Structure 1
């Protein structure tokens, strides 16, 4: 396989030989520049970088080895072939050990030169492909949370990589801010469907009256205001992947319709008589305990088992504190690049406090804090916020009474006290209890405190 219009720099100090080699290579559709010395070659390399250098060993006061040393230092992936005098096998060995891709012993035939160049050309193509694949893999690994080496995260990586190539339905659980959508996008990016649609929908943000049309679509005239055909999210994702975030918030009626789709791959738009066959991979996520929701009658048991084919649990940041330092460095680099600013640095004292913080908002909270620091450069503000947050209860100084407790009574009382302490301000009360706002609202609803 010949690379079209490969750019070659020919370095030869004898004019006739240099001209002959250049003409021979140009006749085989290569782009040629030439130099008569190592110094001239370096000047040429600085002006226009070729794909490959073909150099004689002997070049006046300097040698092809000197040029090879320069090329490997400045252009490690550039192809390099060196021509050595007949009988100087030690030169050839030295050149290969120094990083030459191939050598030719003089005198060599035209065909030998062309074969050597073709061989190195193939090697260059493979190097480029490997760099591209390595870059893609790096991006994919970042998507699945390469920033983190804690054992609990390694389990997440392993599951994501194992099931990404399949069409298995995945249920991602974990607290708010742990990166559930990140894991969903990783499953998509690593899958065969990555060039097809990825549709994300937050089930908790859809009004119950519109849930059916949002998910399954609606025919014109199906309801008041339906002035045209509406394509639902599932149909829009046909051939690709749909991510149903906060699946625990989905109304029971739509849970039934979703179950039918998972079982049969069929949907009916609202107001439609017929059915539509779809090919969509489903990934769902929730911060709720769906088993508990099933027990309470708020979530269909059969749907839970259909969704929970492969469960993935995203661990909270407090369970992988060894990753906080890596995440801090990652977000400093990410947000500095995002705003085209010089990468900010944190003092050792600030970094220590970040490492010791419980992070109730998990990775999302850490990212937000670092983003604000990158923009404002104010470490004092960050430290003040960290110190103002409630510290986790020291359980070594707390023990349950011998007679036990009524947990739900205790939890309800904690919620009421937090609300009273903060004059009904839900945001402050949630922060005081170390709960995400969504988790706090869920508990208020559970105990009918709203």
Structure 2
């Protein structure tokens, strides 16, 4: 959108000095702006409420209502309007008070006219870009399909804002996040908000399939390519033609498979296992990992060239412990779903049960919450789920989020490892050492569980 011309930008000059006020009106008018005047802060507030202005240039010291008081009233009425403060008293404290109250900038008298003009231009440009950015977000928000993504936390909103910008593009996306945070849902949202939404959305978990079978699953195979290959089969890349393919747990791919995947991404073509025919592909690639790839690149277990091919746009899903505001919403969402599925008349949670849900650290993230709510609904004997109905692993309470001073790691890493180890030990005990069953309860793959057992130095039985 083209920026409006200067003549359409209305500036209100507020100063109780008639000579200074008249001089500024003539000067700003000569720059091509429409200028109006007010002789007091109270008059300025009334003007702002009566008609639209694009910028206010206001003296800070006036007899009836000071510039700081007027600034507070103007910002309360219209937070978006930029206010530039003027004063003859160069006080750092006054400047800080003005800026804290929402002033765009602070100028001292006698004014440097060149600096004044630059400040006005920048303030108007900044305000214009803010409005345009909000309009873009509103348009994207109207069109953006969240699918089954549930939550209103600032962390989730910020992520979805980015997803809404990324989805319409053709860029390869790498989704980072702990197990159970909802990476597949985000991948689905990217696909369903893209130009490929009417095409297929093919999903495959790279950790759940052996290397030999994974190659066949991704690229297809010819008849007789290996034992059991009794017919030609197209791979997932061909099946996803015109749509998107989602490779989950891409960090678990062997180096050999990484080489083959890199070739497919670079050449945009596949060759079936046991075949020679080159098949062009038209797919968008979305990958996900629950382990950061950069350290794996440094250790040599993940190819650097593939990492850069996948990491065109990087998204990181916050763990549930950093989305405490979303826990009640998610819990009620899952309760309604499982109550309907199991034909139970469960309506909600007691205050004590909800308090425990919010305070729990959720090492298994959303998947663990979903499993906990499903179990509670199935076993519930009343219309509300109480604290005693929740089978949660012992853990430290989740910390409160300090929005004024957020930290990237709300839990010390060693405490998170402790919590995770406790969860694995208890689950293995409850499943009689059955790793496949334990992995399902924990909401992770069997291979991921094996990796964690190895990392913790634990035997198969914990």
CA shift digits 1:11-67 (9 cap, x unpaired): xxxxxxxxxxxxxxxxxxxxxxxxxxxxxxxxxxxxxxxxxxxxxxxxxxxxxxxxx
Paired residue for 2:43?
Answer: none
Corresponding residue number in structure 1 for 2:270: 267
Deviation readout 1:316-344 (Å, 9 max, x if unpaired): 11011111111122222333344455452
Label 1:421 to 1:321 Cα distance change in 2 as closer, same or farther (>3 A): closer
The normalised TM-score by structure 2 is: 0.57
- Report if aligned partners of 2:196, 2:244 keep a CA contact under 8 Å in 1: yes
1:228 is the counterpart of 2:228: no
Change (3 A) 1:340 1:192: farther
In the TM superposition, residue 179 of structure 1 has moved relative to its aligned partner by 0.4
1:344·1:377 contact (CA, 8 Å) conserved in 2? no
* Pair 294,449 (structure 1): closer, same or farther in 2 beyond 3 Å: farther
C-alpha distance in 2 between matches for 1:292 and 1:209: 26
**Quick one: distance in 2 between partners of 1:311 and 1:259?**
18
Q: How does 1:20-35 map to 2 (within 5 A)?
A: none
SS of aligned partner of 1:204: coil
Return the alpha-carbon distance in structure 2 between the equivalents of residues 180 and 394 of structure 1. 22
153, 166, 177: which one aligns with 1:174:
177
1:267 partner SS: strand
- If you compute each CA radius of gyration, which structure gives the higher value, 1 or 2? 1
- SS across alignment from 2:245: strand
Alpha-carbon distance, 1:309 to partner: 0.8
Answer yes or no: is the 8 Å Cα contact 1:217–1:232 preserved in 2: yes
8 Å Cα contact 1:149/1:323 also seen in 2:
yes
Task: Note if 1:240 corresponds to 2:249.
Answer: no
What does 1:23-102 correspond to in 2, within 5 Å?
Answer: none
Deviation string, structure 1 residues 328-370 (Cα, Å, up to 9, x no partner): 2222233334445545222111111111111111111112222
Residues 349, 385 of structure 2: 8 Å contact kept: no
**CA distance in structure 2 between the partners assigned to 1:190 and 1:420 by the alignment:** 40
1-structure distance, mates of 2:269, 2:147: 35
Number of residue pairs the alignment of both structures matches: 298
- Residue 441 of structure 1: how far off its partner (Å): 2.5
Give yes or no for the alignment of 1:201 onto 2:217.
no
Picking from 139, 146, 166, the partner of 1:141 is 146
Structure 2 partner of 1:346? 349
1:154 matched to 2:157:
yes
Distance in 1 separating the partners of 2:362 and 2:381: 19
The CA distance in 1 between the partners of 2:190 and 2:427, in whole Å, is 43
Tell me if the contact between 1:419 and 1:425 (Cα under 8 Å) persists in the aligned partners: no
In structure 1, runs of 5+ residues without a counterpart are 1-133, 396-406
> For 1:365-402, what per-residue CA distance to the aligned partner results, in whole angstroms no more than 9, with x for missing partners?
1122222333332479973475762223999xxxxxxx
Q: Deviation digits for residues 106-137 of structure 1, max 9, x if unmatched? A: xxxxxxxxxxxxxxxxxxxxxxxxxxxx9x96
Q: SS state of the match for residue 202, structure 2?
A: strand
Q: Pick from 347, 357, 368: which aligns with 2:360?
A: 357
Distance 1:260 1:195 in 2: 27
Could you tell me how far 1:201 is from its partner in structure 2?
A: 0.6
How many Å separate the matches in 1 of 2:323 and 2:279? 45
3-state DSSP of counterpart to 2:349: coil
Change (3 A) 1:447 1:394: closer
User: Does structure 1 residue 251 correspond to structure 2 residue 260?
Assistant: no
Pick aligned residue for 1:279 from 272, 277, 282: 282
Residue in 1 that maps onto 2:453:
444
Partner of 1:185 in structure 2?
188
Q: CA deviation at 1:447?
A: 7.1
Structure 1 vs Structure 2 CA RMSD: 3.8
2:319 corresponds to 1:316: yes
Q: TM-score, normalised by structure 1?
A: 0.58
The answer to whether the 8 A contact 1:419-1:426 is kept is no
The gaps in structure 2 that reach 5 residues or longer are 1-138, 400-412
| C-alpha contact (below 8 Å) 1:360/1:436 kept by paired residues | no
Q: Is it true that 1:389 corresponds to 2:398 in the alignment?
A: no
1:130 equivalent in structure 2:
none
Q: 1:285 to 1:394 in 2, by over 3 A?
A: closer
8 A Cα contact 2:296 2:302, kept in partner: yes
